Amino acid sequence: MSLRYQINIRIFFLSLSVLLLGGSIAIWQARTAVNKEVNSSIQLAVKLISFGFSHSSQTPDWLPQLNALEEIRHLTVQLQKPSGQIMSFPHTNPAINDENKPPQWFINLVQGEPLKTQHTLTLSDGKQLTLMIQANPLDEITEVWQENIAFFASFCSLTLLSFFAVNLVFNKTLNSITTIVNALKVIETGQYQQKLPPFTVKEYDDIALAINQLADKLSTIKRENRALAQHTLEIQEDERQRLAQELHDELGQSLTAIKVMAVTAARPKANIKQSTDAIINTCDHLMTVVRSMMHQLHPLVLTELGLKATLEDLINHWAIRQPTLKISLDCTNEADRLDAKIAIQLFRVVQECLTNTVRHAKATHVNISLAIDRYGLQLTVSDNGQGCIISEKTGFGLLGMKERINSLGGELLLQSRPQQGMTLFASIPHA
């Protein structure tokens, strides 16, 4: 259901409720006014007739014109003599036109119970007459009906005007919403260059500004992801090329040497001891090369001994290569029970941190802390190096670490200032 339809429906039902309430009040007031007018007319007629008869011993000649008075036009006056004879005085007012006559339902609601009263009049000679007055407030009801018609016509006109004004105001609003929705549909397809225009309404302009900023952020993330994916492919190709080169240089040459030494040992008068020693030395060298290649592809100690032992092995490796760099590790034993997918990602993050520290930070001390509590896992790597200014244009190493942590549902934060080192904080909630 559209917003325009909901608003119009609410205005309609609100107007209908006001109309019913106003109609009920108007009918109640009309009923009260008609009864009050009729009672006043009866009292006036009784006083006039009583005053006239109190000074006369016979029927006054002005009595037939009494019903012509505007003030008692609602009444029918009759006199009953002591003999029982009834004297009627017909109305001289013009009859009500059928076109102006109110509908019967309105007459029934306003008229109420018919009013009829009798009074005893005493003439100056002591005779008594019975005054019978019957109310017929049709013309008064007609006036009330005409007044109500004018009121309800004005109310309906105001209601229609309200519909027009509200729709006029909401047309602009709904057009703004349509513009925003269409822009979001375009952004949904990946066209993040789509921008919303400024709006005259502050609230819509704030929404447009937020959406434009979101589109810019998504565009930046898309470019970073594309660059990171391209960089990852390049790393894979470089790694394959390096492995192929090592296989060719190390394994290929060593296997060729083993084959030559085996052929030499098979000849008569060959020095078997010298050949076997050479083969053994070559095989030891091959085992060292293969072990190094396997460690570069995937640390077997991670699968065999767990994350803590793998990090300790990594620290020992860097301690041999960088004796001036002091690396401290504070790792809980619960790290060895982590899932293999989480453990390898954490290991790669720490590995990248140490590589960056050695290459760029010029640090003398690195502290690694890995803690696990009821909220999740917290990894902190800090150094005392030269630091840097953190900007959105980070290197592929930092982007790669963010992607690794984000893939686990976590969050990675970097804090650094020039000459004040760098701190990496990664938080991963429990799955």
Sign of the CA dihedral with 98 first, then 104, 106, and 111 last = positive
Domain 301-431 falls under CATH 2.80.10.50: no
Average pLDDT over residues 258-266: 81
pLDDT in tens, 82-100: 666 676 665 555 555 556 6
Beta strand 365-373 with 116-122: parallel, antiparallel or unpaired?
unpaired
Q: Long-range CB contacts (< 8 A, 24+ apart) of 62-69?
A: 63/89, 64/89, 65/92, 67/91, 67/92, 67/93, 68/92, 68/93
Question: Is the pTM higher than 0.85?
Answer: no
Query: How would DSSP label each residue in 193-217?
Result: T--PPP-SSHHHHHHHHHHHHHHHH
Average pLDDT over residues 35-54: 70
At 421, give phi and psi (nearest 5°): 75, -175
pLDDT of residue 34: 75
Contact (CB, 8 A) for 54 and 122: yes
Sign of the CA dihedral with 21 first, then 27, 32, and 36 last = positive
Strand partners, 78: 88, 132
CA distances from 175 to 50, 207, 415 (A): 76, 14, 45
What is the domain partition of the chain in residue ranges?
3-92+99-168, 190-297, 301-431
pLDDT in tens, 281-315: 888 888 887 777 776 677 777 878 889 998 998 89
Helix 202-246 × helix 272-297 angle, to 10°: 180
- Biggest CA–CA distance in the chain, Å, is 183
Sign of the CA dihedral with 396 first, then 401, 405, and 407 last = positive
Please report which confidence band the pLDDT of residue 275 belongs to, taking 50, 70 and 90 as the band edges.
Answer: confident
Beta strand 326-331 with 365-373: parallel, antiparallel or unpaired?
parallel
Q: Is 419 left (phi over 0), alpha (psi -120 to 50) or beta?
A: left
Please provide the average confidence, as pLDDT, over all residues in the chain.
78
pLDDT in tens, 323-372: 889 999 999 988 888 888 889 889 989 988 998 888 888 889 999 999 99
The number of CA neighbours under 13 Å toward the Cβ of 220 is 11
Beta strand 422-429 with 376-383: parallel, antiparallel or unpaired?
antiparallel
pLDDT of residue 99: 61
Contact (CB, 8 A) for 203 and 196: no
Please report which confidence band the pLDDT of residue 72 belongs to, taking 50, 70 and 90 as the band edges.
Answer: low
